[in-house]
């Protein structure tokens, strides 16, 4: 019998991407809440499995794995599906866009959420940094919309890839966070091919399970609302 995985998660955090992949792959797993409100990510127990104190961590028979893209790639290679196989001619294109999502898009998104961590407390400096990052995010989304228009087998197809879910979650967060900021720069209708991708995701059983588990609402990607999880906090 396959060993059950253990996902260390916080609602509506990057762990959501991993939950969706586990559900889509039909893999058995249990969850362990990392209570961010009480700083559980900084506890000695959590730092023992991820010294960076970041979420998520997936405990596996090969040991704990952290970093979202690393977990996704490990799952697809171990179980098949949701990504081109290592011997596929499409593997190189898939990998470059997966790591673009992780190393470029997600990294810029973090800066937009927490500008003070990168440039200090001065409000004018934070505003300037945020504006620049928003311009970068807009450019990234245009590139991804062009990619979705070409409909490669691993992006925007009938069965989603891990890249689809990763992008879906990030676009959800762009529409919601930071909660009190001006997000007029982000309009989903500006990216029609990505919008269609998100609509397809919302019809998946994996998404419906995650909606219940993390309190995401009925349209978590196309018209997202702040999460109201049954346990823990999305903040």
The verdict on residue 169 lying in a domain is yes
Kindly indicate the confidence band of residue 1, based on its pLDDT and cuts at 50, 70 and 90: very low
186-190: Cβ within 8 A, 24+ apart? 186/134, 186/137, 186/138, 188/222, 190/141
The verdict on residue 60 lying in a domain is no
The verdict on residue 30 lying in a domain is no
Q: What percent of the chain has pLDDT over 70?
A: 99
- List the structure tokens of 203: 């019809």
- List the structure tokens of 3: 């060993």
The verdict on residue 183 lying in a domain is yes
The verdict on residue 232 lying in a domain is no
Q: Where are the beta strands (DSSP E) in the chain?
A: 5-9, 29-33, 57-60, 63-66
The verdict on residue 65 lying in a domain is no
- Number of structural domains, the chain? 1
Kindly indicate the confidence band of residue 226, based on its pLDDT and cuts at 50, 70 and 90: very high
Q: Which domain holds residue 141?
A: 91-204
136-160, pLDDT tens digit by residue?
999 999 999 999 999 999 999 999 9
The verdict on residue 61 lying in a domain is no
**CATH number of residue 173's parent domain:** 1.20.1050.10
The per-residue pLDDT of the chain, averaged, comes to 95
70-124, pLDDT tens digit by residue?
999 999 999 999 999 999 999 999 999 999 999 999 999 999 999 999 999 999 9
Which residues, including other chains, have CB under 8 Å from residue 115's CB and lie 6 or more apart? 125, 126, 129, 130, 133
176-202, pLDDT tens digit by residue?
998 778 889 999 999 999 999 999 999
Distance CA 19, CA 25 (A): 10
């Amino acid at each position: 019998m396959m060993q059950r995985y253990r996902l260390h998660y916080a609602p509506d955090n990057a762990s959501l991407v991993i939950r969706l992949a586990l559900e889509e792959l039909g893999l058995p797993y249990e969850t362990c809440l990392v209570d961010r409100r009480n700083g559980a990510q900084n506890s000695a127990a959590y730092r023992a499995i991820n010294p960076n104190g970041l979420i998520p961590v997936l405990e596996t028979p090969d040991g704990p794995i952290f970093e979202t893209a690393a977990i996704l790639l490990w799952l697809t290679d171990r179980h098949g599906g949701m990504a081109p196989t290592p011997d596929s001619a499409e593997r190189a294109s898939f990998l470059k866009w997966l790591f673009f999502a992780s190393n470029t898009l997600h990294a810029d998104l973090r800066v937009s959420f927490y500008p003070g961590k990168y440039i200090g407390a001065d409000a004018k400096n934070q505003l300037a940094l945020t504006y620049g990052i928003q311009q970068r995010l807009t450019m990234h989304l245009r590139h991804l919309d062009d990619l979705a228009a070409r409909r490669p087998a691993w992006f925007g197809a009938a069965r989603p890839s891990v890249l689809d879910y990763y992008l879906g979650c990030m676009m959800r967060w762009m529409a919601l966070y930071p909660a009190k900021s001006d997000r007029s720069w982000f309009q989903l209708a500006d990216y029609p091919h990505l919008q269609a991708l998100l609509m397809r995701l919302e019809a998946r059983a994996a998404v419906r399970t995650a909606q219940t588990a993390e309190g995401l609402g009925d349209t978590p990607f196309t018209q997202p609302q702040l999460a109201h999880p049954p346990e823990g906090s999305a903040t």
